Structure 1
């Protein structure tokens, strides 16, 4: 029984995909009989699959009986676009990791939150233990503080009004006036650092990037005893960030 179910399911998926391709080839829609002919499917099978695709929103039936692609596919395409954009910059992040022997991170400010979009690490370049989510640690990470710095004062204060300055390590800044002062005048501007403020034993440096109009940050982490490299690493990060911004902002 189990041996027969696998191929049957695979065949059904293949047939459904062939139908979607056929539907997509007709801008003004095509009836089930025509789609069955073009995909070489039995008419009953085509009807069954089209009813399923219609129910789930992958196709839409017009008043004249023709089928066109549905809104569900449009939303899938939109949801997949960020993944497609990230695929453009993963090789750049991997090259950065290999050159600097550090884990590389990419974040974006979306829907009022700072979220990690990509981490590129390896056996010799482990990522920092994300023991507290970035949504609750924007004030303590170089990646988060870079975003906060670029937001501008009003947007920054609005964000900080919704997020408690949690005391994560003995070095975390939990005073709002002090945090704002440091954001306005970071020593390595436009880069921002995290000197064991998020995790003991780890320091980070990050710089701003953009995906179109969406603000983000590119950063790296390294052991705290290597913090004398931060100025050198900042100089390397800036041109890489410009390249990442250009790649992410290209229209598809």
Structure 2
């Protein structure tokens, strides 16, 4: 819903969520009954309950519950937290949370165009099939950003092929010197998504523990959300 400022019909939402239409109708009715959605002129929009989750702001593209969760995790973990999607052939950073003591990595080179060099992008591309990966790299070729970055397309594809879904994707100074990052895939229906944490190089020993803490937090959030809908 967050990607449709002017609302969307049930069939479109079902298609984008990868749900059978009857299931989508059931969820939409439930969410409407609970006040999270409302229906006007044949389309569904966010309702009052959803707006309360974001302090009265219309939750477009960055639902408040996700932004608030990232902010809480960044504070608890002591590291910046990032959330990204692979949508319509592009990498989209949809939310970032950091603290003054642990600032996020600055986007000095387009995150969208340099997915081969950062952990979020590598994690997203690892979830794609071979054809989608090749298409992405045709449009955004592999290029060396730092002396630690992958040097060519073949090497990068070999790396993606060797990644195990249950293990975090680790990137060390490939996007930004002095920074290490770890990302994990997020499974929500057919969506291709990932979350990550980053740390200064001199705190690298904290990286695995930080990303595992993030994994536990995300799992707990997804479980609570699923059960709250009462399918």
CA distance in 2: counterparts of 1:103 and 1:234, whole angstroms? 11
Structure 2 gaps of 5+ residues are 1-39, 52-57
Which residue is 2:95 aligned to? 118
- Are residue 128 (structure 1) and residue 101 (structure 2) matched? no
Residue 66 of structure 2: which of 86, 89, 92 is its match? 89
Residue 135 of structure 2: which of 154, 158, 164 is its match? 158
CA drift at 1:187: 7.8
Q: Deviations over 1:77-123 (max 9, x none)?
A: 6xx98637721222321222112211110001111101100011121
Aligned residues of 1:210 and 1:245 also touching (Cα < 8 A):
no
Which residue is 1:141 aligned to? 118
- Are residue 98 (structure 1) and residue 75 (structure 2) matched? yes
Cα pair distance change 1:188/1:196, threshold 3 Å: farther
- Normalized against structure 1, the TM-score is what? 0.62
Considering fraction of residues, name the structure with more helix.
1
- Matched residue SS, 1:207: strand
Aligned residues: 182
CA drift at 1:135: 1.1
Q: Deviations over 1:26-53 (max 9, x none)?
A: xxxxxxxxxxxxxxxxxxxxxxxxxxxx
Aligned residues of 2:119 and 2:183 also touching (Cα < 8 A):
yes
Aligned residues of 2:184 and 2:215 also touching (Cα < 8 A):
yes
Structure 1 gaps of 5+ residues are 1-68
CA distance in 2: counterparts of 1:212 and 1:247, whole angstroms? 16
CA distance in 2: counterparts of 1:181 and 1:218, whole angstroms? 22
- Normalized against structure 2, the TM-score is what? 0.68
CA distance in 2: counterparts of 1:230 and 1:99, whole angstroms? 14
Higher relative contact order (CA 8 A, sep 6+): 2
- Are residue 167 (structure 1) and residue 144 (structure 2) matched? yes
RMSD (CA atoms)? 3.1
Which residue is 1:226 aligned to? 203
Which residue is 1:178 aligned to? 155
